[in-house]
Amino acid sequence: MIRTLKVAASLAVLAFATAGHAQTDRPWMNTKLSPDERAALLEKELTLDERIGLVHGPMSMPIFGIKKPEGAIGSAGYIPGIPRLGVPAVNESDASLGVTNPLNVRPGDGATALPSGLSLAATFNTKLAYEGGAVVGREARAKGFNVQLAGGVNLARDPRNGRNFEYLGEDPWLAGNLAGASIKGIQDQGVVSTVKHFSLNGQETHRHFANSVIDEAAHRESDLLAFQIAIEKGQPGSVMCAYNLVNGDYSCGNTHLLNDVLKRDWGYKGWVMSDWGAVQATDYILKGLDQQSGEQLDAQVWFGEPLKAAVEKGEVPAARLADASRRILRSMFAAGLFDKPVAPGGAIDYDAGAAVARAAATEGVVLLKNRPGLLPLAKTAKSIAVIGGHADAGVLSGGGSSQVAPPGGAKTIIPLGGEGMMGPFRSQYFNGSSPLAAIRKVAPDAKVSFDDGRYIASAVAAAKAADIVVVFGNQWMGEGEDAADLSLPDGQDALIAAVTAANPNAIVVLQTGGPVSMPWLSQAGAVVEAWYSGANGGEAIADVLFGEVDASGRLPMTFPASIDQYPRAALPGLGLPDKTQFDVVYSEGADVGYRRFAQTGAKPLFPFGYGLSYTTFAYANLKVTGGQTLDVSFDVTNTGQRPGKDAPQVYLTGAAGKTVQRLIGFDKIELKPGETRRVTLTADPRVLGQFDAKANRWALTGGDYQVAVGASSADLTLKGAAKVKARTLKP
């Protein structure tokens, strides 16, 4: 005991001495100062070469013959530290869905795979978003990563977008809030998070040559609003600009986006890093870019020697380089990278991570159709035929930079082949959380068979022989490519049509990266959308099918009846020769997804916000108060026989004489049978107003505002109104 005390005493002396040293030699280590003050003090000490060293960095994965840089842990990117001043090296890893291990650069190192972004968005649950972020942040930290390339919040403007699965759906309020919560979860672990890809990276087809064209006000009210909310709620240390052009200028060299909107209007204090291979010139630094990432993918290391020369010649003011360096350091201080440095080799509780992944995946499952009495399945079911989707091997995940390998490695990897930048990433990963095994576990007395679904005749025979059928429909989506249409690939629609025709008790489980068409829908007994469900997806699917939990997911994207219901029925750029610039005209403006459906009156297959539950909910006693904004409250009652979770949604339906439809609030609540809870929320005035591009301000027209509470964007039951005062707000 005495010895321990002595050690403790000498450690205290050491800590005191270090603190003293910090106060004098390294005043920026004084934790009483603000991150701004600390960054300013440190930045002053940097040499020109040290500043240049901070503003660019290589990839840290072995790809295209490139070697992992010396000193890097190995993942997406690396910025060497400055030991003389105690600046830690920056090790960057992807993404929102877990800590990645691209091309197995850290041999055998897995991580907790969270469900896809769309699955998270389907939970309508900001608490789960935070908890998921915290898992990612904890694991990043334990593996030695201090920057997590997370926070994907591009709005889903096209159901075919190959990266919709990484993002959070089509609504700025939903996506912005969930992204903000997830970013906060990551950063609370002492790891910087990004928010990405700024902005309008709305499709993957020829993403380096797509020019997103949009009206300024519409942009502010949609994709930019999602970013703005995510930044306000999550305070990400960095913003990653995108591959595409926006209104004629590349996003990473877009002075309007970076200097005017982000840094001036929003007062953003962190740094802008480029996407990997998204920098075309040195003068991007003048246009607001602070750091060139993944530099080997660019034609030159623009922010290396060329930038140094430009500063020396006075073409780039030294003050601008200092500002970029200060921004990087500021975010590093703010997230705690100096005070609590990360180190690889930390212990990781993967069971705890998997439990969060399972909770999120379960709440993300959306019950789209249910013939009364079919679901939830009785555990006494005698025989169940599970068909297709590699359901024996695990659940599917999306491809590209966000792909997470589970601890111990994926159970099954099916290479798809392919060339180009994303070629090495084109494989389907199945993680080992097998829905087949999970179903067997929940229903131990049932005879559960598996047919791989390759031959329709054998699948039909299996379906006919069983009481219940669970047939899977998989759609692999990946970064760098879009789905060519909304069908399930590899003939699975024909398989499902045959199986659902053979047995009326067939339940279709979809594992997709976004909306798909369902030509067999009328025949299916039940349909659930399970998305890419992560580490414990198999268990989550079984839990919902057997009613261990309520089905409480709601669609964060409209499922269209056909692609013709969208403004761009032909995928822009598809078939063009590479390196040809083309316009993607976002003529829907801010009316993305359900908002445009509300205008055109087209009937989707399933509307935004839709999802069935195993119980029923009723809404009553709506109170709407006006003034500077709208305060809305109402009662939600579980009117059914089972406990359940509801995601009540509040929509604006009219604003001072204008018909609109916008989600202005949502909640996720759990209710016992017969229980009533009051939901209360205050609308953010920006979702009530419009952006006045000329005045560069948000504007609310004074007048009557109508709201409706509903179970989806197309099922509005309670209606109310109140007067809102005319006002304008800062951009």
Binding site for ligand BGC (CB under 6 A): 76, 94, 149, 196, 275-276, 294, 401
Q: Which two tokens stand for residue 57?
A: 């960095």
Distance CA 109, CA 350 (A): 12
Q: Which is nearer to ligand BGC, 102 or 538 (CB)?
A: 102
For residues 711 and 661, is the Cβ–Cβ distance under 8 A? no
In this structure, are residues 632 and 680 in contact, taking their beta carbons and an 8 Å threshold?
A: yes
Q: How far is the CB of 149 from ligand BGC (least distance, A)?
A: 4
What DSSP state is assigned to residue 683?
-
Q: How far is the CB of 141 from ligand BGC (least distance, A)?
A: 18
Q: Distances in Å between the alpha carbon of 596 and those of 181, 603, 666?
A: 27, 11, 20
CB atoms within 10 A of CB 71: 11
Q: How far is the CB of 401 from ligand BGC (least distance, A)?
A: 4
Query: Helices H, strands E: what count in the chain?
Result: 18, 30
- Residue 567: name the closest of 593, 588, 590 by CA: 588
Structural element, H or E, at residue 660: strand 658-666
- Give the Cα separation of 707 and 662 in Å (integer): 9
Q: Closest distance between ligand BGC and the C-beta of residue 284, in Å?
A: 17
275 is catalytic: yes
Nearest to 637 by CA among 619, 622, 611: 619
Catalytic residue selected from 94, 109, 275, 684: 275
In the bound state with ligand BGC, the residue whose beta carbon lies nearer, of 253 and 538, is 253
Rg of the chain on CA atoms, in Å: 26
Hunting for tokens 């930045």 — which residue is that? 43
Look up residue 632 and give its two tokens: 């809305």
Task: Map 508-522 to HEC letters.
Answer: EEEECCCCCCCCCHH
Least distance (Å) from ligand BGC to the CB of residue 262? 18
3-class secondary-structure state, position 137: helix
Burial class (CB in 10 A: 0-12, 13-18, 19+), 424: middle
- Burial 323-355, CB ≥16 within 10 A → b, else e: bbbbbbbbbbbbbbbbeeebeeeeebebeebbb
CA distance 54 to 321: 10
Shortest Å distance, C-beta 226 to ligand BGC: 16
> Residue 574 is encoded by which pair of tokens?
């598809």
For residue 20, the Cα-to-chain-centroid distance in whole angstroms is 43
Instruction: Report how far apart, in Å, the C-alpha atoms of 141 and of each of 119, 208, 229, 374, 667 are.
Output: 25, 32, 26, 45, 31
| Nearest of 115, 74, 99, 112 to residue 150 by alpha carbon | 99
Tokens of 114: 């969270």
CA dist 613 → 134, 621, 642, 711 (Å)? 28, 22, 10, 10
Q: What are phi and psi for residue 678, nearest 5 degrees? A: -95, 130
349 to each of 106, 346, 354, 407, how far by Cα in Å? 19, 10, 9, 11
Under 8 Å CB-to-CB from 596, ≥6 apart: which residues?
566, 567, 588
Question: CA 171, CA 194: separation in Å to the nearest integer?
Answer: 20
Joined together, the tokens standing for residue 559 give 């499922």
Structure tokens at 180: 């903000």
Bridge partner residues of 152 (DSSP): 196
Neighbours of 364 (CB within 10 A): 34
Which has the closest alpha carbon to 515: 158, 116, 159?
159
Q: How far apart are CA 196 and CA 275, in angstroms?
A: 9
Largest CA distance in the chain: 80
Q: Label residues 494-525 b or e (16+ Cβ within 10 Å = b).
A: ebbbbbbebbebbbbbbbbbbbbbbebbebbb
Helix (H) or strand (E) holding 435: helix 435-442
With respect to ligand BGC, which residue has the nearer C-beta, 422 or 526? Answer: 422
If the CB atoms of residues 66 and 726 are measured against ligand BGC, the closer one turns out to be 66
**Active-site residues: which are they?**
275
